[in-house]
Structure 1
């Protein structure tokens, strides 16, 4: 009976391997944080694509579906914290996100090395002679060539980085939890992101996954043919990882000259269901005043006092009550105040940050550039009404994106602040635009991200946010 079940199990193993890859990938991130899993996360999926146990007529379609299953598994489990905002949105969004995994799996199958079968000996006499030599003829397998394996790993790692870039760009992008982000706790290894960004780390990890599979396959081929060659592919891969590690240790020992800035952050912990409810307005003001005064009483007082994203009950520049509260506190403080608020102009609504300085005499405004799809706007809301219905009341209207990389200048003129808002600190290219100097702009020397991760309650959402944001400190 058990032998009868074996063929059925063998037919299922590629799909189980795809699910396994998705789960291993999820295990790299909060709440699990098993960073080491990233080095093997893709290997079950690659093995399922390259070494099926049965012939399939439309193999390209099967490879697509294997990648899609792995993608669904990863996104459903890694982004489960989205259920704190919208269960239906969490469930439906992943059907789109998994497409990128599927495309990579299809490309992986396209590049699969093909075994060249040797013709059997033409006569019985030749077969007897081959047996008598007790050795198989030289193998023509592509797996035993280091150059083949290195080229294969390079192409597949480049394709992986490409799909991550597309995922972070199409529909304004949702690029959280790239493969390289899994290394967020391995501080010496991530230092190469200063030159390559997270893409370089994703490339390195994906490259190592491919070499891991080709090495195992190569050992099997060499054992069966009794031919062994130097494994330059594995040796060079390990040497590159050790080199990146050595560079990181060295880089962290070099400390550039810095100037201290005293910063106080106020976390008011206002529940989401109270934030914009008029009956809680006075309580919110009292909470911010009490916590801010504690920070302002320090000696010397902070140079910068920071409040969260959308901190006030109303748009500060449009709501008289909120405006008066902020200006009164700024007038009594010796510190600049940076806060998040809603900003409105000509019927458009922006997610914005304000810097109030000189006792309220100066107000600088930054409008968020990169909006979160299905969080701050619904792509194609009017062209595809079904999308708006899925999100429901969670996104009743769309924010408008800002158009300027505004730097905030503190009262201390030597401090230039990049006022990132929420999701923006997960985007390397956007952050670098604030930091890089250009005509008349020296570039930011302080990154500040104001966010409201209270939406995600006590889930892994805020922890994953921090893991993605860490790399901005390395890159800049």
Structure 2
């Protein structure tokens, strides 16, 4: 039987899998018809290469070779797909192991996430074999089409997980990643996957008889070389044409508190942020930026028509850090409705006072409460306060992190709460915003990407696409709390994923993080500057796991981006080609199981 469910004659294009023993060398037979240890061992090596490529980017160009070998291998399909799953498991288990740091019980979540992500690899293999063996696509098309299509699915399915994409491993190779302004991060993954496929084609050509060595594979190798050369030429040209102009001076604050302390000692959390920020009051920064949720107390807006009783009955009046740090008597005597109103007023006055003392606008991260007559909301927000003005703008987070900011299927599957890094008794849950709100004041126009939102291409692109010609976005701001993960490699992966938004939209980004990386990325995706602090334990200089401040000048970028205009056109093309390949495989009905195995089964 074939994977397409039909039977027909093999394709006319010569392939190693259909050559007779008179034309194929014994080495070809051994390479294409391996035993089960090789079918499991070599793909596992591919998983090691994929993970290693994030530390040694040169490995990226061969990391998919074991996966591609499974596309052309003539072996039992069960072993082929099992090998692909091994590849994914060996890659993602260490790839997301940082998840276990967020809580003592997070081991289960880590194993479940790694297992779920690993399943994308055999699905990618199925699609690639369908295109290559069933629809007669060349290997240099089948492999990148399948891989990019499944990266896109992984980016969006089940709220999405935009980490550990193939392109992320080459984020420091600036000439390569510039094509992201044409087709997004997917374009970079496509090129890398194509080169990997060409290496496999080169090996297959070398193993063929010398008289037919390049008959089937010569053009595939040539195509990959031309694509890579064109990528490098385009990237070099875009880098050479960059003409940045000086923008505002930004003061970045990097706090360094573990999440366990942020959850329990709100007063210390606030005082830590204030103390770290203090040197910036004497700086030339035009605006100061705090990390995500660095302001621990509640603030927001209350509809004027609501009385204290209505507030007392609100679904979120008893949630969040409402209490002012000093007014214990008010806490003891006031009703919840009165406490909500008093806390909102008191905390806002405190924020206004802090901003006035700082002498420049302050962009904080915190939980913003909105009370309306018939409903109420709780947002993870970026809010800009200006001296003598108070709040001048805010952005409420659009894309929430499952199990970190809300519980999926809370009413249907409440037992999923076991995967949350919170106490079972803690009321929990934020609301997603619906509007793309930029923050602007005195000529400054910024788009905030909170937490992991900078790993999602759609959000940044929509911000860039909505900007007006009169006042475009000056820069992105990423406010993060990487304190969940204890200065692990999560911070490195986060930085690598986020900088692609700068290339895709040709917009610089400043980052202010708790524990993770704080700094500046320009419109080329180059990490221009990172905050450097001193490790309290041994005095070494570090970029993460330390506290401090950094004042930097944002280089404004006026270049345009095709990706902003057209969006995810490349994955769409991949899906169209997969649909065509599915149709062609049904028409041709190519057998995907080797004749020797079919005879054995018969």
TM-score range, shorter chain: 0.7 to 0.9
> Which residue in the other structure is 2:363 paired with?
338
> Which residue in the other structure is 1:117 paired with?
none
The answer to whether the 8 Å contact 2:258/2:486 transfers is no
Q: What does 1:31-430 correspond to in 2, within 5 Å?
A: 33-52=55-74, 55-56=75-76, 59=77, 61-85=78-102, 86-113=106-133, 151-223=138-210, 228-229=214-215, 231-278=218-265, 281=267, 283-298=268-283, 301-317=284-300, 320=343, 322-345=347-370, 346-391=375-420, 393=422, 397-411=428-442, 413=443, 415-430=444-459
The answer to whether the 8 Å contact 2:403/2:421 transfers is no
Per the alignment, in what secondary structure is the counterpart of residue 276 of structure 1?
A: helix
RMSD of aligned residue pairs (Cα, Å): 2.5
The answer to whether the 8 Å contact 2:364/2:384 transfers is yes
Per the alignment, in what secondary structure is the counterpart of residue 266 of structure 1?
A: strand
Q: Deviations over 1:334-383 (max 9, x none)?
A: 31111110122344322111111243433322111111223222322332
Per the alignment, in what secondary structure is the counterpart of residue 341 of structure 1?
A: strand
The answer to whether the 8 Å contact 1:82/1:90 transfers is yes
Counterpart CA distance in 1 for 2:121 and 2:140 is: 17
The answer to whether the 8 Å contact 1:184/1:467 transfers is yes
> Which residue in the other structure is 2:38 paired with?
13
Greater Cα shift, 206-215 or 105-114: 105-114
Counterpart CA distance in 1 for 2:99 and 2:139 is: 36
> Which residue in the other structure is 2:597 paired with?
none
Change (3 A) 1:226 1:441: closer
User: Which protein, 1 or 2, shows the higher relative CO under an 8 Å CA cutoff with sep ≥ 6?
Assistant: 2
1:23 shift after superposition: 1.2
Greater Cα shift, 331-340 or 344-353: 344-353
Q: Deviations over 1:137-166 (max 9, x none)?
A: xxxxx9xxxxx77x3322331221111111
1:271 shift after superposition: 2.5
Normalised by the length of structure 1, the TM-score is 0.82
The answer to whether the 8 Å contact 2:398/2:432 transfers is yes
Per the alignment, in what secondary structure is the counterpart of residue 399 of structure 1?
A: coil
Per the alignment, in what secondary structure is the counterpart of residue 178 of structure 2?
A: helix
Q: Deviations over 1:40-94 (max 9, x none)?
A: 1111122134224xx53xx2x4443332222122111111111102211101122
1:463 shift after superposition: 0.8
Counterpart CA distance in 2 for 1:402 and 1:219 is: 56
1:192 shift after superposition: 0.9
Per the alignment, in what secondary structure is the counterpart of residue 433 of structure 2?
A: coil
Per the alignment, in what secondary structure is the counterpart of residue 270 of structure 2?
A: helix
Q: Deviations over 1:237-258 (max 9, x none)?
A: 1122122112212211223352
Q: Deviations over 1:298-330 (max 9, x none)?
A: 2xx311100000002222336536434321111
> Which residue in the other structure is 1:447 paired with?
476
Per the alignment, in what secondary structure is the counterpart of residue 242 of structure 2?
A: coil
5+ residue gaps, structure 2, are 1-29, 301-321, 324-342, 506-602
1:393 shift after superposition: 2.6
The answer to whether the 8 Å contact 1:156/1:207 transfers is yes
Q: Deviations over 1:269-292 (max 9, x none)?
A: 1222221324x50x3333333332
Per the alignment, in what secondary structure is the counterpart of residue 401 of structure 2?
A: coil
> Which residue in the other structure is 2:504 paired with?
475
Per the alignment, in what secondary structure is the counterpart of residue 393 of structure 1?
A: coil
Counterpart CA distance in 2 for 1:260 and 1:241 is: 34
The answer to whether the 8 Å contact 2:162/2:497 transfers is no
Q: Where is the strand percentage greater, Structure 1 or Structure 2?
A: 2
The answer to whether the 8 Å contact 1:285/1:325 transfers is no
Counterpart CA distance in 2 for 1:228 and 1:74 is: 33
Q: Deviations over 1:175-210 (max 9, x none)?
A: 211111111010111111111110000111111112
